[in-house]
Chain A
Amino acid sequence: MTSALNSKRAPLAAGAAPADPPPASPSAPRPARPKRRPRRDSFWGSVVPPVVIVVLLLVGWELAVTLTGMRPQVLPAPSRVVVEGFERADIIWGHTLSTLQVTVIGFAFSLIVAWIIAVAIDFSGVLRRGLMPLLVASQTIPIIAIAPLMIIWFGFGLLPKILVVALVTFFPIVVGLIEGFNKADRETSNLLRSMGAGRWKEFTFVRLPSALPSFFTALRISITYAVVGAIFAEYVGAQSGLGIFMSTQKNAFRTDLVLAAVAVTAVLSISLYLLTFVIERLVIPWSFKERKARGDR
């Protein structure tokens, strides 16, 4: 054991920094690593492939429709979808705003409910055991059955749609938050307790911040459901919105306009999805940096 210590080093003066491999300076913490390829590459690498695939699919679709001479009521060519869609752009835009409103308000409501439930469950084992089966059961309700009932109960206004959006989106957030809170392990809890923290301080100092990365993952899953939920709620009955627009255009055999609304829906979902990354970076920049430092993608 001692042989390994036959030190040739002079003993360190008290207070001097030991020479374990220290980064050269705070601004350049890892001097010896080969440089990563510049970020621009990864940008092109992540944008070009999906664009190419989408373009190829559209071209194939256009060709197939033109060559087979299929009726536009059955399957319109993408070019027709675009042209007809733009012709009614102002109408579609109005419906889009309605859908966006339902999505945002419903999702905000869902977030509030999810946070309240998750925090309550984090503080109480009884609540956890009591509520979890109910929460899981809520996810087994077929939306297709409950959405028309919501209209019967709450009318054609905003409320039933908000409830449908909340119903399809709150569960992933609750689960993400509960698991996130539990990322703080027993040792961390002991450390905080030894510092004199009670349960509330333990929550605010550790459990809450360590849950945020899982929260944003859950948020991404949920936000894509939110748009679909809003459209579904409108589909069964509404005064305006992409859902009711699709429903009426389908009944009029305007397949091209249905597909135009579908395209708008996709753009809406993707935009909201990307927005979560922006918010994540603003709220928890440390998480992003840490992952990058560890080399995760």
Chain B
Amino acid sequence: MSASVPKIEIVGLDKEFDLGGGETRRVVDDISFTVEPGEFVSVIGPSGCGKSTMFNIIAGLEEPDLGEVRVDGQNVVGQREHFAYMPQKDLLFPWRTIVENGALGLEVQGMPKKKALERSKSFFRTFGLAGYEDSHPYELSGGMRQRAALLRTVVQGREILLLDEPFGALDSLTRIEMQNWLQGVWSEYSWTAVLITHDIREAVYLSDRVIVLTARPASVRLELEIDLPRPRDLSVTTSHEFIAYEEQLIEVLHEESRKAFAQQNGAPRS
């Protein structure tokens, strides 16, 4: 792993939204950070701070007003082919079987259906979905659906995974199982991944580094290296180091949350 060129460089991203009537609202304010190859980075911030906007910019779905997104040193603003994006909702299509849902990205990219289905199928064991290839989404539990959605993301074979609160809609027990499972799969595959989350514990447990954003407009408030040995298991979550990381993040994040809360109550337009 050469540490010379980072996998992703986010450089000075700015984004304002037009509110109409000549008013604008700054949502993203000079965000910069880097992600090393094979690194798992979590981005955490108060709700409504502009995380999702930042994510859409990285994924090439929106253009920034200023700044660059670089992959391997190249500016890729507006390009979508480097990132595989997983939204919070599973968005599995009821008219497709699970294996067909998994193949969606490949088919969209023009791979012949048969080949795409084979690719998709080859991931089913790893994702704990073996035997459910020909099931339909409504036959699966919430955790399985989310794994199927992650499978659909990973199958595309893109360099970087962008996960937007993938477990946010799950109940807390299932969420813990999913984090645990993802941690295991990730240490096997070493994907470069950026995860948006609200969940401090999730961020610490899964990440090599946690980036805390400020209240709106979002900028980087804190970068915290998580120096816990891998592979991790649940016992690590009760260790002193883990709890110290959590405390540090809780303190900063709650300060920002209070600001965001005051903003939302003070601003009539929010």
Contacts and interface: CB of A to CB of B under 8 A. Distances in A.
A210 B95 CA distance: 8
Given A11-B234, A209-B93, A293 B176 contact: no
B151 interface: no
Contacts of B201: 1-2, 5
A38 interface: no
A197 B136 CA distance: 23
A293 B138 contact: yes
Nearest to A209: B95
A11 B246 contact: no
A195 B81 CA distance: 7
B233 A196 contact: no
A6 B128 contact: no
B34 interface: no
Contacts of B94: 286-287, 290
B177 interface: yes
Contacts of A284: 95
Interface stretch (A13-21, A141-149, A242-250): A13-21
B135 A192 contact: no
Size bracket, chain B contacts? 35 or more
A266 B88 CA distance: 49
B136 A289 contact: yes
Interface string B120-143: 000001111101101110111111
A194 interface: yes
A154 to B, nearest CB: 41
B126 A15 contact: yes
Nearest to B81: A196
A196 B109 contact: yes
A136 interface: no
A36 interface: no
Nearest to B171: A20
B191 interface: no
Given A12-B180, A194-B80, A187 B87 contact: yes
Contacts of B177: 12, 18-20
Interface in B85-116: 85, 87-89, 91, 93-95, 104-105, 107-109
A228 interface: no
Contact of B238 (A2, A12, A19, A294): A2
Contact of A20 (B59, B144, B231, B235): B144
Interface string A1-38: 11011110101111111111111011001000000000
A193 interface: yes
B178 interface: yes
A1 to B, nearest CB: 5
Contacts of B214: none
Contacts of B263: none
A15 B135 contact: no
Most buried by A among B84, B94, B136, B242: B94
Given A11-B234, A12-B180, A290-B138, A26 B131 contact: yes
B63 to A, nearest CB: 13
A25 B132 CA distance: 8
A201 B234 contact: no
B108 A20 contact: no
A1 B128 CA distance: 27
A287 B87 contact: no
A79 interface: no
Contact of A21 (B132, B141, B156, B231): B141
Interface string B163-205: 0000000001110111011001101100000000000110000
Nearest to B242: A2
Contacts of B246: 1-2
19 contacts: A1-B200, A5-B176, A14-B188, A16-B181, A18-B174, A20-B144, A23-B139, A23-B140, A26-B131, A26-B132, A193-B61, A193-B80, A194-B162, A195-B80, A205-B108, A209-B93, A210-B93, A286-B95, A289-B136
Interface of B: 56, 59-61, 80-81, 83-85, 87-89, 91, 93-95, 104-105, 107-109, 125-129, 131-132, 134-136, 138-144, 156, 162, 172-174, 176-178, 180-181, 184-185, 187-188, 200-201, 231, 233-235, 237-238, 242-243, 246
- The 5 closest A-B CB pairs, nearest first, are A17-B128, A11-B233, A14-B184, A20-B143, A18-B177
